[in-house]
Amino acid sequence: MKQVILIEPGKIRISDVPIPEPSEGEIVVKVDTSLTCGTDLKAYIRGHNLIPMPGPFGHEYSGTVASVGKGVQGFKEGTEVMGVHSAPCLSCKFCKKGLHHLCETIMEKKALGAFAEYLLLPAHVVKQNLYLKPKILSFEEAALLEPFSCTVHPYSKLKLDEVETALVIGAGTIGLMHLAYLKTKGIKVIISDFFDDRLSLALKMNADHVTAPHDIENIVKETTGAFGVDLVVECTGQQGVWEKAVNYVRRGGTVVLFGGCISGTSVTYDTKRLHYDELTITGSFHYTPEDVKTAYLVLLDKSMDMSSLISGEFPLQDIKKAFIQLKEGKGVKYALKP
């Protein structure tokens, strides 16, 4: 089979490797669609500590079961599936506290290699985080399950019924997913980005206001009467944006720092602002099996259309073209078709 290997930043090789054989509890999926993501782009441009190099590349997928290992239940050859690439161990200290997204081994035992003709899924992923793909979802929509699971994760800890206004900073894939999900909750959403085409897409996805980054403060003042938004979701992973995010939220509001900065980066906040305005600032990492289930049910509900996030598709052999497009700021997300 064809397998994309990320050799080093900027260097991709397509190798011929044997089709994997499933062991007990495992499944081999014939990949129909794999999607690019922001983490993949970071790895392609500068490397990423969660994506070993050289090594198999890609982690968002949908497809058809090609073979099943002994003991697998609920899936058989020919079943159309959608899933994510990781699952918690359920036995470490964090898992026992219910913090499944912080599992000590969740990043060590994930299934990388979705940019390929076939993908081997470990038993713990099959058991916890693999789902049947219904006919109402295209393979492209189904492959959005993994990033959408990340998107819904921080909201499991927030009271969204108390949020009337939100600001999403960054209209890439994840920012637009936050927009789509918040709109299903009836929340008024402002979204910002440098790229006009992304802001146009945000308007098509029912954003209430769009703005360039330099004008965020004015738009927030105009739309909230200088009160500030209830919620800010930072999706750029830029140090300066992390620091500015607290400027737009009301007293008692919440800032979700979703975009990951480069490792070792530090930020500084005004202690008076945090203390006397009683702000909640929280990070957001990965997802739990419950988040995956939530994301799956929302996708099935069809209450939002995220198909417009996929800017186009490439055959697997042209994967480098997809990343060049993304590096140049062209498009949001691309589908790879083995």
The domains found in the chain, sorted by start residue, are: 2-144+306-337 (3.90.180.10), 151-283 (3.40.50.720)
Structure tokens, 13: 């090789």
pLDDT at 209 over 90: yes
pLDDT tens digits, 129-188: 999 999 999 999 999 999 999 999 999 999 999 999 999 999 999 999 999 999 999 999
- 34-38, 45-49, 72-76, 296-300: which range is least confident on average? 45-49
pLDDT at 240 over 90: yes
Confidence of residue 93 (pLDDT cuts 50, 70, 90): very high
Q: In the prediction, which pLDDT does 147 show?
A: 97
Residue 271 and residue 158: Cα distance in Å, rounded? 23
Percent of the chain exceeding pLDDT 70 equals: 100
pLDDT tens digits, 309-329: 999 999 999 999 999 999 888
78 class by beta-carbon count within 10 Å (0-12 exposed, 13-18 middle, 19+ buried): exposed
3-state SS string for the chain: CEEEEEEECCEEEEEECCCCCCCCCCEEEEEEEEECCHHHHHHHHHCECCECCCEECCCEEEEEEEEECCCCCCCCCCCEEEECCCCCCCCCHHHHCCCHHHCCCCCCCCCCCCCECEEEECHHHHHHHEEECCCCCCHHHHCCHHHHHHHHHHHHHCCHHHCCEEEEECCCHHHHHHHHHHHHCCCEEEEECCCHHHHHHHHHCCCCEEECHHHHHHHHHHHHCCCCEEEEEECCCCHHHHHHHHHCEEEEEEEEECCCCCCCCCCCCCHHHHHHCCCEEEECCCCCHHHHHHHHHHHHHCCCCCHHHEEEEEEHHHHHHHHHHHHCCCCCEEEEEC
Look at the chain and count its residues: 338
Q: In the prediction, which pLDDT does 185 show?
A: 95
- 35-44, 136-145, 249-258: which range is least confident on average? 35-44
- Compute the average pLDDT of residues 285-296: 97
- Compute the average pLDDT of residues 92-100: 97
Confidence of residue 305 (pLDDT cuts 50, 70, 90): confident
pLDDT at 302 over 90: no
